[in-house]
Amino acid sequence: MAKRPQAVVLMGVSGCGKTSVGVKLSQLLDWPFYDGDDYHPLENITKMSQGTPLDDVDRVPWLANLHDLISEHISSGQSILLACSALKGKYRDQLTKDNPSTVFVYLKGDFNLISERMRVRPGHYMKADMLQSQFSALEEPIDALVIDISQDIEWITKEIVSWVDLK
Give CA–CA dist 16/35, Å, rounded: 13
Q: Is the pLDDT of residue 3 over 90?
A: no
pLDDT for the residue 115: 85
pLDDT for the residue 1: 42
Give CA–CA dist 160/5, Å, rounded: 16
Q: Using the CB atoms, write b or e for 83-93: b if 16+ within 10 Å.
A: bbbbbeeebbe
Q: Which of 30-44, 46-60, 114-128 has the lowest mean pLDDT?
A: 114-128
Helix (H, G, I), strand (E, B) or coil at 6: coil
Strand order in the sheet with 80-83: 33-35, 80-83, 7-11, 102-108, 145-148
Q: Is the pLDDT of residue 127 over 60?
A: no
Instruction: List the domains of the chain with CATH numbers.
Output: 7-166 (3.40.50.300)
- Supply φ then ψ for residue 24, to 5 degrees: -65, -45
pLDDT for the residue 50: 83
By CB atoms closer than 10 A (0-12, 13-18, 19+), residue 23 is: middle
What's the whole-model pTM score? 0.91
By CB atoms closer than 10 A (0-12, 13-18, 19+), residue 130 is: middle
Give CA–CA dist 62/161, Å, rounded: 27
* Mean pLDDT within 43-71: 91
